[in-house]
Structure 1
Amino acid sequence: MTLTGEAQYLDLLSRVWRNGAERADRTGTGTRALFGEMLKFDLSDGTVPLLTTKRVFWKSAVKELIWFLSGDSSIRPLVEQGVHIWTDWPLDAYRRATGDAISRDAFEARIIADDEFAARWGDLGPVYGVQWRRWPRYAANEDGSYRADTPVDQISELVHGLKHNPASRRHIFTGWNVPELHRMALPPCHMTYQYFVADGRLSGILYQRSCDLGLGFPFNIFEAALLIRMLAQQCGYEPGTLTWMGADCHVYLNHEHLVTEQLSRAPHPFPRLSFARQPADLFSYALEDVIIEGYDPHPHIAAPVAV
């Protein structure tokens, strides 16, 4: 029997926990992992893959996607909106560098209040949004040296291509900029997106090199579906399917309670997504534009983030 919807995610979560190879990882936490998995979600009926076997804070996910699309690299706009999902990495860097055992709340308060502190400790480097909107480009000088040129806005080029050359096989953007990986607080996990137009419907693939199935996946898959819906609205298409391709699909060893509890719960139907308006462009969406109806999740399951 072919699994669909949330059931296929739960099956993957179970298989990784039961059969995954136990491996060391950079965080020192340890994981169980399988390599090379694929899931498919039908978006054509207006639903979105927002997991129901635990509550997903979808408003934070919307804010994160809008932040990505802005091209920003500072956590300040996020923490100003009460979104904490990127704070752990700069907070850890600050604690290691200074020896100051500052709390997360105090750290975020300084990020908001102190421009100099935010510039020094709140910047994540050239992460997702920077690469999506401002991929560095260089031009050659006459003496053979290079100078910075106008950066590449991959997202604007994607929108233009979907509108004006829908049959192209080059509707792709990526965050995996090799020379800049060392400057990123975290190299991109959801790294490459590709889109396909047929019969008036827009479908997409997300290739994810590394996926934390417990904490990261619920945000990753919802945001990928939301982005398809936003692109479809902007480019005049209906939504099609979302294909998710995971390379290193893992569960952290200290997430056993999450896996056990989540697998004990029966999934509910996915909710429906609609928009309150059609913004002027892809970069003008706000949280209030996204309407989620019929979301009936089980309670949230807390679990630690591995930094």
Structure 2
Amino acid sequence: MTSQPSQRITLAGFIITLLGAIFFSTKAIIVKLAFQDTKVDALTLLTLRMLFSLPFYILAIWLGARKEKATPLSTKQWLQVAVTGILGYYLSSLFDFIGLQYVSAGLERLILFLYPTFAVLINTFLFKSPLHRTQVIALLLTYTGIGIAYAGELHADTSAPGFFYGSFMIFLCAVTYSLYLVGTGRLVNKTGATRYTAYTMMAATAGIFIHFALTKPLSSISFTPALTGYSIALAIVATVLPSFMMSNGMKRIGSNNVAIITSIGPVSTILQAYYILGEPLLPLQLFGTFLVIVGVLIIGRKAGKEQAA
């Protein structure tokens, strides 16, 4: 079956996915700093993120078009790529940026990382993808860890204005991103990792630009040095690099394994939020973080054994 290659775990796929998850985890930190220092709104910051990301994806499309063996996409594949792009980098990003105005970076990452559970369940029950014992153990460990850390965050954040609204927006982000993740796992081998990433990001960019054009005047953007710097960092460090790495990881090891490995994201974000934003680091967070790391290391150990075999 064509799904088998995407489910094989390799050490290279594990490392690429892990680094991509860590880069992605910087997004919440950069967004919080931008909100704090520039008072920019969520839609404007998201628009600037995609504006500065756009040249890299155009370059990727141009380089991909030069490959002689690149198979043209069918109409159905174009539609599927567009839908996954809208779900993954337009709607989910918009929900995420709105939510980050009301909740801490650490809590955002914890709620967002419900998406691997959704992705694995969709793959298992809708597409009949096998769920191996290692994946079950890793899921139990990582989500027990996330739940414990989340409980700690609740004690610190529930008094903040808009806390529950922001939490709900992040939850919607997790739902839409899980649909993107599943779609990516089923499309990336057919279209190629680089081309798929570039096309989905272009679709998302079109949606974001249209949204901005319909709701805000272009003159509302103030290109101050601070806002420009945060936008460029958000585009390159937290968008372009990890998006290509995650797609490549999915091509190598499959969306189920990627969903589990990327649970390291909350750990990375919580630590960055503590050192950079000064957010509290609670005992429950530390214990939850430990469980998440153990779960991720189980997948990494399995990756090493399969590559050596």
TM (norm. structure 2) is 0.26
**Higher strand proportion (structure 1 or 2):** 1
Larger Rg: 1
